[in-house]
Structure formats: C-alpha cells, structure tokens
A and B are shown apart, each in its own frame.
Chain A
Amino acid sequence: MAKPKLIKERVPTPERPVEERVKSFVEVNLGYDFASALKEAERCIQCPPEYAPCIKGCPVHINIPGFLKALRENADNPDEAVKNALRVIWNDNTLPAVTGRVCPQEDQCEAPCVMGKVGDPINIGKLERFVADYARERGIDQELLKEFIAETDGKGRVAVVGAGPAGLTCALELAKMGYKVTIFEALHEAGGVLMYGIPEFRLPKDILKTELEKLEKLGVEVKTNYIVGKTVTVEELLQEYDAVFIGTGAGTPKLLNIPGILLDRIYSANEFLTRVNLMKAYLFPEYDTPIAVGKKVIVIGAGNTAMDAARSALRLGAEVTIAYRRGREDMTARVEEIGHAEEEGVKFEFFLTPVEFIGDENGKVKAVKFEKMRPLEERDRRGKRKIVGTGEYVTIEADTVIIAIGLEPNKILVEASGFKANPDGTLIVDENLMTSIPGVFAGGDAIRGEATVILAMGDGKKAAKAIDEYIKDKKANA
C-alpha cells in the first residue's frame, strides 16, 4: 500500500477584509466550512491517544485525534460526523466554541503537533471551532446535549463562585456527573472575562450566550448579582452546599503608580473593555453606558488584553499606538492577535516605559512621557531580556490612555472569608486545588494571578474531579 502523502500546508480559514472589519465589531475570522475542515482534519497523522502530544499539550486534554477521526469517518454525512466529533470534545470540554476562538493553541495543543516538525501543525483551534459552530448552526448540539444530562438524585450540592471560564467548566463538569450546582455571579450576566473582557470581534456574544445556555439545560442554576463575600459569605455557602469552588478570577486592574494617573480618559483595560463589551458602549446612546475616547489613543502593555483594547479603540474611530517597555519578541499576546492588530493599523512602539501622564488645564490627559529603555543580554526567570532605563525621554501626544499591564485578584472575597493567600492576593491551594478552608476549592486566575482561559478551564475540570472525590468520601464517612 502506498504511504499516504503528508500535506505540509494548512488549509487556510478566510478572514473578513481589513477595511470592513475596522468599522465594526463583527467577528474577524470566518472559520472553516465542512469541506475545508475535512481537508485539514485529513492532514492529521492520527498519533495514538496515549502518545498524542496534542492531548498532552491541552490543559483540558481534549481527545484531539479522536475528534478529527470522527470527522473523517463520516465524510459523506457531515451532520453525523460533526455530532460524533462534538461528543468526543464535550467529554473533556463543554465550551468548544469559546476555546476554539480564544485559546493560544500555538503554545498548547498545536505546539508539539508532529505535523509541525515537517510543515504546519494541524489547525486544531479552528477545527474545534468549526465543530462547535456547525453543530450550533444545525441544532446538532441541542440533540447531543440530551446524552449529557445526568440524574441528580442525592449526589450532592456544589456552590460555584464566579461564572467565568474556571467556574463554568467546574459547574458543567459537576453537572455532567450528576451534582446539583448553583453558580453565584457578581455581574448581571454569566461569562466572566469571556463576557466583559473579550471583544465581539474575537468572541461574538451571541455565540457565547448559546454556549452558556448549556448551563440551564444541564440543570445548573445561575444566581447573578450575588457578590460572594458581601451578599452571602463562604461560611454560609458551606452550610448549604457540600463543597464550594472559587473561580473569581483576577479582577482588579494594576494601575501605574506614576504622576497623572487620575487624569480623565486614563482607563484601566478592564474599565475600557467592560464599558465596550459587557455594557455595549460602542452602541451608545442606544445603550446607556458611555465611553469617552478621543482621536489619539495610547495602549500600555503587550498582552492579549492590550490587543483587544487597541483594536476596540480603533473601531471607535481612534488612531491607536501600543507602547511596550520591552521588545517585539517579548510581547505576550497571541501571534494571531498581534497580526490582526497590525493589519488593522495599530502602531507599535517598543522599549518605552511610561513615567508620567501629562494633563491639560481641564485635567484631561494630553500626552504620555516615556523613558526609553535598553535591552541587556542577561535574561530574567521568564527568559525575557532584562531592560534598563537610558535616561532619555520621549513624549507622545495622546488624548486617551488605556493601561493593560495586568491584573491581580480582587481582595473582596479573601478579606471577607479568611483564606490563606499569597501576598499578591492569590489563594493558596493544595495539589487537589483545595484552599485552606476544608471543602472550598479554587482555580483559575484566583490561584494563578493571571493566565489564560484554557488554564482556568483546566483548573475547573481538575477541581470538579477533586470535589467529586471529596463529596464521595464525606458521604461515605458520614
């Protein structure tokens, strides 16, 4: 038999043209259709699951060769193929339309892909997204959902704090096992950072909302407008529930401790993105929440949040510059997001550290003063080149500034509940993700400080398993 020929190049996914997308918040990437998805899936050499490096690279260990195989096996029946593929994905990850869009696949499942050694790695992220989207559009997901509805008879009750990636995953996994789960969410909508932080052009809210509808169908109750630590305490939750999972994320923005930080039109990325994404300020005054953005915006930082803020500001009609204190190679944003930002006309300035915000006579920002930085050969513990100030300064005009230099955990809950925490506010957990309070587990940015959606989901899933064990033990010993 002839050896199958390796196809080195990826089947590309179409994208909305730049001139069209910079004017609106519609999604940039258009995704695969069945034929092109199949062609891409056929490039996979099908490493056996026990060895497959992609599965190991995925924080929630989706059976990637398995779902690609399912697609290939029913090439002549797309609906059946997608249903089988989705079943495989859902076993490990119930939010594939989200992860297929926002995961840094290039650093995770796609990084160790064997095909990557000879050509392009399999486009796993876009394939995952295709399966989720196709299933949703055809109602296949609704049909499949019935298979995942579990009997909840007397297994136990779990409270989940925070409806972001960690909490949602934990809740959905526990619901699939048959637990009765209640999510407590501080905002008026579930989704956490997926809702307030990630713009429509990367993760359309309608798609997110369809993913969230699974909660109700799997019997998970969501109590919005509940601020755990204020509305209800963790202690009270423990009286009513067998276990508690904390997935409160890292909600507090780091601000720059430099002169002028209180000037008008200096936003934290969180405020800017919350106004735009969650409150739809880009549709003001049809929606009531305003956003004041000028003509020249400087975004400080170089992570995905900085890219999201920059591209959102661009869509609000501004000229946008991203200023980063390190060099291009040290930017932490996904390559795809940096590429999109560049294509759309975001400018980049490197080796600049802000030292002062300069205001006008009305207290509104008008410029940012930066110190020029110089890279050294020496590297820090993350492998990035160290930088030093040069003593030279440059001032760049700006009528709006967005600070996207990171987040730290919100202290409301830690302070109210007496958890053992690190100095940065992250909760201390054991190897089973249990906090210093027995029966209370935690995951995601609440323990990591600042990470990715998929790592939070990985924690949610791991915690769900640990909670299952914990409750079973507790009931057995009762």
Chain B
Amino acid sequence: MYRITAKEELDVRDFFMEVEAPHVARAWKPGQFVVLLIHKKGERIPMSIYYADRETGRIGMFIRRHGKTSFDLWDNFDVGDSLYAVAGPLGTPIEVKYYGNVVFVSDAVCGQAENYATLKAMKEAGNYTISIQTFEDRAHSYPEKFLAKPVADEYYLTTEDGSRGIKGHYLDVLKELIEKDKVDIVFGGGKLGSLKKLAELTREYGIPTIVTVRQIMVDGTGMCGSCRILYDGEIKFACRDGPMFDAHKVDWDDVIRRDSRFVREQEIAKKHYLESRGVV
C-alpha cells in the first residue's frame, strides 16, 4: 500500500497529490510516468510526475477531476490513506543533455506537471530554460508555488481570456519567441489538439519538438497494445516506446480519435459514481 502524504487543490478542477512510492522515486527519470490503481476495484490509470524525491521516497502528481477515478480519489482519499497500487516508473526517459535554449509548453494537467519536471532536469544539464504555461482563465490556473517558474530562466504564464498573465495561448508566445530566434528544442504536454498545432508550427521553423502523447492504457508496460499510435508510418506503443515522441512524426488525427475511444463508458462510470454519492 502506498500512503498519501499530501493533497491540495490546484484550481477548481485539478489537484496535487503526493504519495509514498520509494521504488518509483528512486528510479524515475524525466519523461517517465506511473500507473495508479486507487483501490481493488479500480482501473489502472497512467499519471504524469511533477517530482520524484529520492530522499523521502515520495512522488508528486497533478490530477484532474475528470472521470470516475479522479473524482473518487479526490472525494475519498485523504492524507494518511493509501492507494492500492503505484507501479513504475514506466515509459522511456527523455534524453537530458545540453540542447541550448529549451522551451517547455503546456496547457493541461499532465503537461503542467512535466513542464516543471522536465525543465528542472534540463536546467541542471546547463540549458537555458523557458517555460510557457497556459491556463483557461484565472479560476483554472494554479497557485504560484505549483508553477514551473522556479526552474525556468524565462517564464510566461498565459490565460486564454487574459484574466491572469498574458492573454493568449502558449502557441502565440512560442511563435514570438521563435521569431526572436532563440529556440533550439521544444518540449510539450497537455491537450492533444494543441500539440497537433504545436507540431505544425515548429515543423514550419524546423525546430525539434518532443511531446507527451496521451493514450488510453491498461497495463502500461507494452503488454496490451491499447495505447498504440501511428508514428512515422509504424505502430508504436505510447507506454513503452513513449510517452514522449517526436511531434513531427505522430499521426495526430489518429491519436486524437483514439483518445476518445471510451468516452461513452467514462460517462457511464462517472454517472454511476455520482449517483452513488447522491450528487446527481
């Protein structure tokens, strides 16, 4: 069992959770993820890592209240409670080395976690780090202490409606940066639709771009093939061969479509859960 050591609201939808998982914390490298199973009847859900602390054996995660499992986790699990399973680290680490000017862009929960984790490692490797974090609006943006600001040499926060930080999307800020000629590589995470646009933008400028490809997984070790994607004309598994891939080689339309495979079932599960809580 894996004890919860911290839990905090990030915004009206996302929350932060820290869990004791020394086996993961000791081995985790940027780009890797974990699989959680909150209780015995739960599903296996992949989760990005915000930090992994070898000393304390704890891992931090950002989680969105989106489906049944994340609602259940927020509602029924508090500090001191335990999760049934935390497996990992999984996936292939990204190559942390000197690239020059490294930008990380993100506009949704998993990307925000990795924005911090990846840039921290990149900064330690001597890169000049630039972080751009996009939130929908003020109500959907994170408290200062959870932003990637401390690990970035240059930092931009944007909201789509301009209610906090710069008005606009990371794509707008990134375009300006690129035109100022200071971007050697872009890393990204978040909404798949934005990542597709990101790939189109950086391809135009010939800038290498590595992004997290979110796909539905079951085991997370390459055993089931649920997370298969079309990559450079070949089938790759997001869990084993990724989850970070060269954005220019990903077939984004396919990835976006496959991501919605279980929408109907997700809604059934959420409704069933909310009814059982007397919410609906």
Contacts and interface: CB of A to CB of B under 8 A. Distances in A.
Interface of A: 186-188, 196, 223-227, 230-232, 251-253, 255, 257, 261-262, 264-265, 267-268, 270-271, 274-275, 279-280, 284-292, 363, 410-412
Interface in B46-81: 68-69
Contacts, number: 130
A466 to B, nearest CB: 27
Contacts of B266: 290
A279 B219 CA distance: 10
Contact of A230 (B86, B90, B262): B90
Given A232-B27, A285-B272, A288-B42, A225 B224 contact: no
B139 interface: no
Which of B43, B44, B218, B222 has most A Cβ within 10 Å?
B218
Contacts of A275: 218
B218 A284 contact: no
Given A188-B37, A289-B43, 20 more contacts: A187-B219, A188-B85, A223-B23, A224-B87, A227-B87, A227-B89, A231-B88, A251-B222, A253-B223, A253-B224, A262-B229, A262-B254, A274-B223, A274-B224, A279-B44, A288-B69, A289-B218, A290-B43, A410-B221, A412-B240
Which 5 pairs from chain A and chain B are nearest by CB? A290-B265, A271-B224, A225-B87, A188-B85, A288-B43
A262 B258 contact: yes
Contacts of A224: 85, 87
B89 A230 contact: yes
Which of A230, A264, A290, A291 has most B Cβ within 10 Å?
A230
A34 B116 CA distance: 65
Interface string B143-187: 000000000000000000000000000000000000000000000
B228 interface: yes
A271 B237 CA distance: 13
B225 A255 contact: yes
A410 B268 CA distance: 33
Contacts of A412: 221-222, 240
A257 B88 CA distance: 30
Interface of B: 23-24, 27, 32, 37, 41-44, 68-69, 84-90, 218-219, 221-226, 228-230, 235, 240, 254, 257-258, 261-262, 264-266, 268-269, 272-273
A181 B274 CA distance: 44
Nearest to B256: A363
Nearest to B21: A225
B41 A286 contact: yes
A290 B218 contact: no
A230 B272 CA distance: 36
Which of B43, B223, B235, B272 has most A Cβ within 10 Å?
B223
13 contacts: A186-B219, A225-B23, A230-B88, A262-B228, A262-B258, A264-B261, A268-B226, A284-B265, A284-B268, A288-B41, A288-B68, A289-B44, A410-B221
B84 A188 contact: yes
Contacts of A264: 257-258, 261
A411 B236 CA distance: 13
Contacts of A251: 221-223
Nearest to B41: A287
Nearest to B223: A251
Contacts of B261: 264-265, 292
A227 B224 CA distance: 15
A6 B222 CA distance: 52
Nearest to A257: B235
A437 to B, nearest CB: 20
B78 to A, nearest CB: 20
Which of A253, A257, A261 has most B Cβ within 10 Å?
A253
B27 A290 contact: no
A173 B17 CA distance: 42
A292 B260 CA distance: 12
Secondary structure type dominating chain A contacts: loop
Contacts of A292: 261-262, 264-265
Nearest to A285: B272
Contacts of A363: 257-258
Contact of A270 (B24, B225, B240, B262): B225
A429 B254 CA distance: 40
B141 to A, nearest CB: 29
Given A252-B222, A271-B224, A412-B221, A290 B258 contact: no
Given A262-B254, A262-B258, A279-B44, A290 B269 contact: yes
A187 B219 CA distance: 7
A290 B228 contact: no
Nearest to A254: B225
Given A262-B230, A290-B262, A231 B27 contact: yes
Contacts of B42: 287-289
Contact of B218 (A231, A232, A279): A279
Contacts of B37: 188
Contacts of B235: 255, 257, 261-262
Contact of B85 (A225, A232, A288): A225
A27 B222 CA distance: 30
A450 to B, nearest CB: 14
B33 to A, nearest CB: 11
A236 B37 CA distance: 27
A392 B88 CA distance: 48
Contacts of B27: 230-232
Contacts of A253: 223-225
B224 A270 contact: yes
Given A224-B85, A230-B27, A230-B89, A410 B44 contact: no
Which of B225, B264, B265 has most A Cβ within 10 Å?
B225
A279 B40 CA distance: 9
A49 B41 CA distance: 47
Which of A187, A257, A280, A292 has most B Cβ within 10 Å?
A187
Contacts of B225: 252-253, 255, 267-268, 270-271
B218 A271 contact: yes
A88 to B, nearest CB: 36
Nearest to A268: B225
Nearest to A363: B257
Contacts of B219: 186-187, 196, 274
B84 A226 contact: no
B57 to A, nearest CB: 13
Nearest to A186: B221
Nearest to A364: B261
A254 to B, nearest CB: 9
A39 to B, nearest CB: 42
Nearest to B257: A363
B143 to A, nearest CB: 30
A231 B89 contact: yes
